[in-house]
Amino acid sequence: MGKAYPRKEIFMKKLLFVFNPHAGKGQIRFHLLQILDTFTKAGYEVTAHPTQAKLDAVNVITETGKDHDVIVVSGGDGTMNEAIKGLMNLGEKIPLGYIPAGTMNDFASSLGIPHNMTAAAEKIVNGETAEVDIGAFNDEFFTYVAGFGAFTDVSYGTSQQMKNMFGSLAYIAEGLSIKRLNSMKPYKVKVEYDGNVIEDEFIYGMICNSMSVGGFKGLGGKDVLMNDGIMEGLFIKNPKNLIELQQTINALLARNLEADCFYYFKTGKAVVSSDESIPWTLDGEFGGDVARAEISAKNKAICLFASPTLKILGGTAEVAPEPMGDESDPSYYYSEENDDPTE
C-alpha cells in the first residue's frame, strides 16, 4: 500500500457574491461565469447567492457576511441599498464591491465604477478600497439619496413592463405624464439644519451624497465629496403659476442651484418635518410615510472598492469616461433595469 501524504491546507480568502438575477433584464446571465472565474483566479473561495425576494440581500449579508473577507453585490441601486443595510447591521467594515446592473446606477456613476459587469469585477480584484459615507434616515440607511415629492415615486410607480421596454425613458415618461403633473402635490415642510430653519411649500426635496441623482449629474451641486461627513440638500419651491414652473425647469436643466426657486445647502444633519405624513424614497425605493425625518451622514461608514484618488473621495483624479458598449456582446441590448428580485 502506498504511503499516504497529508493534504496541504490552503487558506483562501472567502468572498460572498450576492446578485439580483433579474436586474437589467437578467443581464448577469451573460457575465456570471466570467465574474466567478475572475474572483476564483484572484484567489477567492466564492459563495454565490441569487436573491429570492425583497430584503433577501439584507438578510443574507446580516446572517453570513461576517464569515467572509469580501462582499460583492450586483444589481441596481435598490440591491446596493439592501447591501448597505446588511453591512450596517453587521457593524463591521468588510470591504464591499459593487457590480451595477440597473438603469440609473447613480452610485456607481459617482464613483467611476464601470457599468460593464466583467470590467467591474476585474476592478474589484485589482482595485483599491476607500471609506465612503452613507446616510441615516430615522432607523433606516440609504446609499446616496433620500427624497420626497415630484418624481421621487417614479421608480416604484413605473410598471415593470415599462422599465423593461423603455429603460430610463420610462422614468421620464412617467414623471412627465399629464396625470402626474395634474396631481403634483406640494408639501408644507420645515427644514432644520445647523441652526437654520426653512419653512415653505415644496414640490420636491432631497438630501443626497452623490454627483448623480436619477441619472442627472450635478443635482447635488459642485464640490461633492462622498467621505467628508457632509450631505447636500436641495428643496424646490412650489411654483405658483406656469411661468414659475418654466423658470424652475430651466434652472434645473442649467443646474443653477442658486436660483430663487431653490433652497440649497450642505450639512451633516437635517430634520425635515411636516404636519402630515410624507412619502419618502431611499435610493429610489419606497422608504415609508413619515411626518418627521432625521437625516444624517455616517462618515466613512463603509469600505468600498473604489479609487481613493478620485475627486469625489478627496483626490485629484477625474472619473474617466466609459467606453461605448460592444454591440457583439448580447448584454449590450439588455442594459435596462429590472431590479425587482421577485420577477
**pLDDT attached to residue 200:** 96
**pLDDT attached to residue 177:** 44
CATH number of 13-133+302-333: 3.40.50.10330
pTM of the model: 0.79
140 annotated active-site: no
Please tell me what DSSP assigns to residue 142: E
**pLDDT attached to residue 121:** 95
**pLDDT attached to residue 198:** 96
Taking the alpha carbons at both ends of the chain, their separation in whole angstroms is 57
140-300 sits in which CATH class?
Answer: mainly beta
DSSP secondary structure string, 8-62?
Answer: PP---EEEEEEE-TTHHHHGGGGTHHHHHHHHHHTTEEEEEEE--STTHHHHHHH
Please tell me what DSSP assigns to residue 313: G
243/193 Cα distance (integer angstroms): 30
Per-position pLDDT tens, the chain of length 343: 455 544 444 557 999 999 998 887 778 888 999 999 999 999 999 999 999 998 999 999 999 999 999 999 999 888 899 999 999 999 889 999 999 986 666 778 778 888 889 999 999 998 789 899 999 999 999 998 899 987 665 554 554 454 444 444 444 445 444 445 566 788 999 999 999 999 999 988 999 987 766 555 656 567 788 889 999 999 989 988 888 888 887 887 777 888 899 999 999 999 999 999 999 999 878 889 999 999 999 999 999 998 777 777 776 666 554 543 443 343 333 333 344 444 4
Choice among 174, 232, 285, 336 that is catalytic: 285
Query: Under DSSP, is residue 272 helix (H, G, I), strand (E, B) or coil?
Result: strand
Contacts of 22 (CB under 8 A, 6+ apart): 338, 339, 340, 341, 342, 343
Kindly state the greatest CA–CA separation across the chain. 94
**pLDDT attached to residue 314:** 72
Q: How far is CA 291 from CA 66, 139, 148, 272, in A?
A: 35, 14, 12, 8
**pLDDT attached to residue 243:** 87
Q: How far is CA 311 from CA 110, 222, 223, in A?
A: 10, 11, 8
Domain ranges of the chain: 13-133+302-333, 140-300
Unique residue bearing C-alpha cell 422614468: 171
**pLDDT attached to residue 6:** 46
What amino acid occupies position 146? A
Unique residue bearing C-alpha cell 475572475: 38
**pLDDT attached to residue 12:** 77
